Chain A
Amino acid sequence: MTNEEKRSLAIAACKVRMGVIESTHGAKAGHPGGSLSAADMFAYLYNKEMRIDPANPKSPDRDRFVLSKGHTAPGLYSALANRGFFPVADLPTLRHIDSYLQGHPNMNTVPGVDMSTGSLGQGVSAAAGMAKGAKYLGQDVNVYTLLGDGELAEGQCWEAFMFAAHYHLDNFCAIIDLNGLQIDGPTKEVMNTAPVDEKMAAFGFHVVVIDGHDLEQIESAFAQFHACTDKPTAIIMSTTKGKGVSFMEGQAGWHGKAPNDAEYAAAMAELNAAMAELEAQA
C-alpha cells in the first residue's frame, strides 16, 4: 500500500466516522460505538476491496456485503453515501419517520444494501446462502459479512459457520469485530465468546487476526482471503469501540446512544482536526 493510498483510505474512514456522528445526532438515536469500531473496515471494503458500482447497485456480478451486526447501520450507510450510492446530506434523516434510512439495514429502501438485517445471527446465514448461490451459479462473486463479538453468542452464527465450511465456500469472508463491548458491558463478562480465533479455526475457517484500525493489516488479511481456496476465511479484528471520538472510545455506554448537541460538536471538532491533519499530509 502506497502512502498516498493509505492516506486516501484514512480520509475515507474519517468521512465514514463523520457520517456516523451526523446520522446518529440527526436521529437522536442509533449505534455509534460499533459503527466507529468498524469504520476503517467499512471504508476499506467500499473503497478498495469490493467490486461494486454505485451507479448500478443491483449489478448481478457485484460482490455482496451483509451487515450481520445490523445495528451498526450508521457505519454502513455512511460508507455507502460517501461512496456515492446516495447523498451524504441524507444521513441525518436516519430513523426519521419519512426517511428511507431505516434504523436497521433495509435492502428494499437503501441503495447498496444487499440484505435486510438487524436480528443478530441471521445476516451471516444469508451471506452464506449468497456465497453458496454464487458457487452454484458459477459466478465469481465474493460475499463479506460483518459480525460483532457479542453477536457470536447467537447459536445461529455457528450453524452458518458450519454450513460455510461444509460447502467449502472460499468466496465467503466473515469479519468479526472484536471490540470487546456489548450493551450490558464487556463481552467477557456478559457472555464470554473467547477464544474466537481458536473457535473459528475449529469450525474449519482460515483465520486471520489483525488490528482492525490498521489499513495495511486489513489489506493483507484480504490478500490471504483471496489466496485461500477450499475453505472460508474469518478475519478477526481487534478494535476499539467508539474509535476516533475520544470520549466514546472503550465505553459500553456508547453502544446505542446518540450524541447530544454538545457531544456532537465535540466529536465533529475531533474528526475535523483529524481530517485536516490527513489533508495536510498531501
Chain B
Amino acid sequence: MKEMKKIATRDSYGNALVELGKAHENVVVLDADLANATKTGTFKKAFPERHFNCGIAEANMVTVAAGLSTMGLVPFASSFAMFAAGRAFEQVRNSIGYPHLNVKIGATHGGISVGEDGASHQCCEDFALMRSIPGMVVLSPSDDVEAKAAVKAAYEWDGPVYIRFGRLAVPVYHEEENFSFQIGKGEQLTQGDDVAIIATGLMVYEALVAAELLQAQGIHARVINICTIKPLDEELVLQAAKECGKVITCEEHSVIGGLGEAVAAVLSEKCPTPLRRIGVNDVFGHSGPAAALLKDFGLSAEHIVEVAQAFLKD
C-alpha cells in the first residue's frame, strides 16, 4: 500500500469538537484531568468557557453530563475508554442509558495500542460493556476522516452515543472529499467473495493490507469496515456471509462481547456461516510499544493473512 499520512483518532476527536463548537453553542465538553491526552484540550483552547474539567472523578463526570443534557446542552464527556466505559459503567447505564439522555461519550485510548501504560489502561472490554446498554450507539472509527465524521454524526443523533478513539497514529485511508458517514451503515472497501474480513477501528487498515497480500496469492477478500458496532449493519454482514461463505472479524478488543460476537450472533440466527474471530483472546495486555504489542496480540495484517489461509483450507 502507498505511504499514507498518519493521525491518531484522538486528535481527530479534539479537532472535530472544535468544528462542532464553532457551529453549535450547545456543545459542551467534559474531561477528567486528561484533557491533554484525550485532546479535548484543543476544544478548551478554543472555547474555555465550555470546557468543564471534573477532576479525576469519572463517575461524577458522566452523571454531570447527564444533568447537563437535561438542560438542552449536548455534552461530550471524555476520558480513557477504561474509565469512561469501565469505571463509570453503572453511571452510564443508569443515568444516561436508562433515561436515554442525549450524552456523547468520547473515549480515547481504546484497546491494546495504548502501549507503554500497560494492562490497567488498555481497555479491551468497552464494546462489550457499552453494547449491553439498551439504546446505546457504539462507534469505533478507523481513521481521521471517519472519526471526524463520527463525532459530527454523534452530535446530530438524538440519544446516547459512545465513540472509541485510539492513542496510536493510524493511516488516513479515507478521502475526505468523497466520504459520507451514516450511523448504522458499514462500508465495503474491497471487492471479493472468497472470504469476508469484517473489521473495526485500527484493524480496518490492517485488513486492507491483508487483502492486498491475499490478492497476490489469488485470494479475493471482501473487506468491510464496521464503524457502528451497534446498531450493527446486519444487511451488509449477511450479504457478505452469503456471497463469501466465510467470515473473519478483526477488532482491537476482546473476542468476548465485541464486533466478533455481534457478527456471530447475527450469522448464527440468520445465516449460519463459518467464522473466525481475531481479537484479544481473553487475556490482559502488558506494557510495550504499540506496534510491537499489536503484533504480539495477533492484531496485524500478517496474522489476518495466516488466519485467512488456514480458514480457506478448512
Chain B residues contacting A167 (CB-CB under 8 Å) are 52
Residues of A within 8 A of B68 (CB): 129-130, 132-133, 136
**A162, CB-defined interface residue at 8 Å:** yes
Q: Is the CB of A122 within 8 A of B63?
A: yes
Chain B binder among A42-50, A110-118, A259-267: A110-118
Q: Contact partner of B64 among A107, A117, A125, CB < 8 A?
A: A125
Which residues on A sit within 8 Å (CB–CB) of B59?
Answer: 121-122, 125, 155-156, 159
Q: How far is the CA of A66 from the CA of B59 in the complex (A)?
A: 17
B287 at interface (Cβ–Cβ under 8 A)? Answer: no
C-alpha spacing A64/B59, complex, angstroms: 21
B67 touches A125 (CB 8 A): yes
Q: How far is the CA of A66 from the CA of B91 in the complex (A)?
A: 15
- Is B213 engaged at the interface, CB distance under 8 Å to the other chain? no
Q: Which single member of B66, B71, B99, B100 contacts A137 (CB below 8 Å)?
A: B71
B191 partner residues in chain A, CB cutoff 8 A: none
Decide: A108 and B73 in contact? CB cutoff 8 A: no
Check if A60 is an interface residue, CB within 8 A of chain B: yes
- Chain B residues near A131: list those with CB within 8 A: 67
Q: Which residues of B contact A115 (CB under 8 A)?
A: 66-67, 70, 95, 99
Instruction: Identify which of residues 55-70 in chain B touch chain A, using a CB-to-CB cut-off of 8 Å.
Output: 55, 57, 59-60, 63-70
Measured between C-beta atoms, what is the minimum distance from B21 to chain A in Å? 13
Residues of B within 8 A of A162 (CB): 55, 57, 60
Q: Quick one: CB contact mask for B72-106 with A, threshold 8 Å, 1 for yes?
A: 11010000000000000011001100111000000
Is A128 in the interface zone, CB < 8 Å from B? yes
Query: Contacts A122-B95, A125-B59, A156-B63; is A114 near B70 (CB within 8 Å)?
Result: yes
Distance to closest chain B CB from A118 (angstroms): 7
Tell me whether B64 and A136 are in contact (CB under 8 A).
no
B7 is an interface residue with CB less than 8 A from chain A: no
Q: Report chain B residues within 8 Å CB of A114.
A: 70
| Contact of A60 with B72 in the complex, beta carbons under 8 Å | yes
Q: Is the CB of A133 within 8 A of B67?
A: yes
- Tell me whether A116 and B63 are in contact (CB under 8 A): no
Which of A60, A108, A139, A160 interacts with B99 by CB under 8 Å? A108
Q: Does B286 contact A (CB under 8 A)?
A: no
Q: In the complex the two chains form, what is the Cα distance from A107 to B67 in whole Å?
A: 12
Interface string of B130-168 (1 = CB under 8 A from A): 000000000000000000000000000000000000000
Interface bits A48-62 vs B (CB < 8 Å: 1, else 0) = 000000000000100
Asked if A163 CB lies within 8 Å of chain B CBs, one says: yes
Q: Is A126 an interface residue (CB 8 A)?
A: yes
Instruction: Please name all residues of chain A whose beta carbon is closer than 8 Å to the beta carbon of B57 when the two chains form the complex.
Output: 156, 159, 162-163
Asked if A252 is at the interface of the complex by the 8 Å CB criterion, the answer is no
Q: Which residues of chain A have C-beta atoms less than 8 A from B71's C-beta?
A: 129-130, 133-134, 137, 139
Judge whether A160 and B64 touch: CB under 8 Å.
yes
Contact A119 B60 (CB under 8 A): no
Q: Within 8 Å of chain B (Cβ to Cβ): is A271?
A: no
A108 to B97, CA, bound (A): 12
Asked whether any CB of chain B lies closer than 8 Å to the CB of A218, the reply is no
Are A127 and B67 in touch, CB under 8 angstroms? yes
> A116 — which chain B residues lie within 8 A by C-beta?
94-95, 98-99
Chain B residue nearest in CB terms to A107? B99
Contact among B55, B64, B75, B94 for A128, CB-based, below 8 A: B64
Contact status A126-B73, CB under 8 Å: no
B50 part of interface (Cβ distance < 8 Å): yes
A128 and B99 in contact (CB under 8 A), knowing A119-B90, A136-B28? no
* Residues of B contacting A128 in the complex (Cβ-Cβ under 8 angstroms): 60, 64, 67
Assembled-state Cα–Cα distance A130/B52 (Å): 13
CB interface residues, A 6-62, toward B, < 8 Å: 60
The residue on A at minimum CB distance from B30 is A129
The chain B residue sitting closest to A70, CB to CB, is: B94
**Bound complex: CA A126 to CA B71 (Å):** 11
With contacts A60-B72, A133-B71, A136-B28 taken as known, whether A118 is within 8 angstroms of B94 at the C-beta atoms is yes
Q: How far is the CB of A198 from chain B (nearest CB, A)?
A: 22
Cβ–Cβ < 8 Å partners of B98 in chain A: 116
> Are B95 and A132 in contact, CB atoms less than 8 angstroms apart?
no
CA distance A122 to B92 in the complex (A): 10
A118 and B298 CA atoms in complex are apart in Å by: 43
Residues of chain A whose beta carbon lies under 8 Å from any beta carbon of chain B: 60, 64, 66, 106-108, 114-119, 121-122, 125-134, 136-137, 139, 155-156, 159-160, 162-163, 166-167
29 A-B pairs in the complex with CB atoms less than 8 angstroms apart: A64-B70, A108-B99, A108-B100, A114-B70, A116-B95, A116-B99, A119-B91, A119-B94, A122-B91, A122-B94, A122-B95, A126-B70, A126-B95, A127-B67, A130-B67, A131-B67, A132-B52, A132-B67, A133-B71, A133-B73, A134-B71, A136-B28, A136-B73, A137-B73, A155-B59, A159-B57, A159-B59, A162-B57, A163-B57
**Complex A-B, nearest 4 residue pairs according to Cβ-Cβ distance, in ascending order:** A129-B67, A133-B71, A125-B63, A159-B60
